[in-house]
Amino acid sequence: MEFLLNVIHYVIPFLILLGVLVFVHEFGHFIVARKTGVSVSAFSIGFGKELWSKTDKQGTVWKLSLIPLGGYCQFLGDADESSTTEVDLSKFSEEEQKHLFATQKPIKKLAIAVAGPLFNYLFAFIVFFGLFFFIGSYDIPPIITGVIEDSPAEKAGVLVNDKIIKINGVDIKEWNDISREISVSVDEVDLLLERNGENISVKVKIQEMDYAFDETEKPIKRKMIGIKAETKRFKVVQDNFNFVESVKKSYLEVYNVTYMTLLGVKQMISGERSGEDVGGIIRIAEMSGDIAKSRGFVDFLAFMALLSINLGLINLFPIPLLDGGHVVIYLIEIISRRELNAKIKEYLLKVGLGFILFLMMFATWNDVKHLITRWFE
């Protein structure tokens, strides 16, 4: 019985989450390819053995495959799903050659490559807009409603009902701003508090502490200073945001997530932040299950939008095999007006594959350690 409940709470939300995000990403490649005259031979959610398929009027085979950890949009003439292999043009008629991805100009290839990540961003923007416009807000005033006993905040003299005005010199308007500034800080934060009409400055150290969404779930380790507010959830409000305000807030939400992700990557590269923050598929499944179980559908949608931004951004990194790696190659070809040497491409793709496999193993190792800590500590 417990196993079935875990499947419902963790596996099913994870499969829905990943399936939607993969579909959005690959559909971006698909629709731009179609619009630019490139034929798509297959569109698959998942890898491996085919579970279901349907061929449309233009010859694209739509598939659901056994391993639900990704997907692909395969163009006519590609020998594999990565669209990186050389194509034997002699196998295709003169008319078919016009619709091969391999025969397109670099500017068209560039548009198709960028479309996947951009659709992830567009999807996130639309989700946030819908939540803000139709439901309201999940803004929480930056007023402290609880201080954890023996936490750095308590030791620094932070009190309940203190209002945080600035962190490290950055203006704080809502609780989201607090979470952002603490997450991108390393050892300590400078707080400017408003207490009984007076401003007070304090330095508070950051440390890993037990954290849970609510009392129904097991705590996990998280970097905190030990302050609490209302639970961060979307709430129906009497005066929902108008169209323009919803657009602004959606843009800011997308911008802030992108900024925090890039800053986190920069801090990992510079050594300011531990590599243990890198998570993978297991961590995503865990978080999606926790949110679906304890916080509901609306917060699950917001989490999906956040991950969509991360998926789009990561795919734009200039790493061979990722969309960003292809973008760099196509930009070089556009500038040089000649195709990059096939051997150089092959070498770059091998390097990219090795790097991605290393990151996947590293992230999985972090995820397993995290789960062991959560289960047994």
Active centre residues (catalytic): 26
- By the 10 Å C-beta count (0-12 exposed, 13-18 middle, 19+ buried), 358 is classed as exposed
CA distance 250 to 125: 6
How far the first Cα of the chain sits from its last, in Å, is 24
What burial letters (b/e) apply to 304-341, b meaning 16+ CB within 10 Å?
bbbbbbbbbbbbbeebbbbbbbbbbbbeebeeeeeeee
Strand pairing category for 188-195 and 170-171: unpaired
- Dihedrals φ, ψ of 214, to 5°? -155, -175
Q: Nearest Cα to 129, choosing from 222, 254, 217?
A: 254
Tokens encoding 294: 């304890």
Which residue, chain included where needed, has tokens 């007023």? 143
Half-sphere exposure of 350 (CA within 13 A, CB side): 6
CA distance 235 to 296: 12
Alpha carbon distances (Å) from 35 to 27, 39, 131, 186, 308: 12, 10, 30, 46, 23
Beta bridge partners of 65: 50
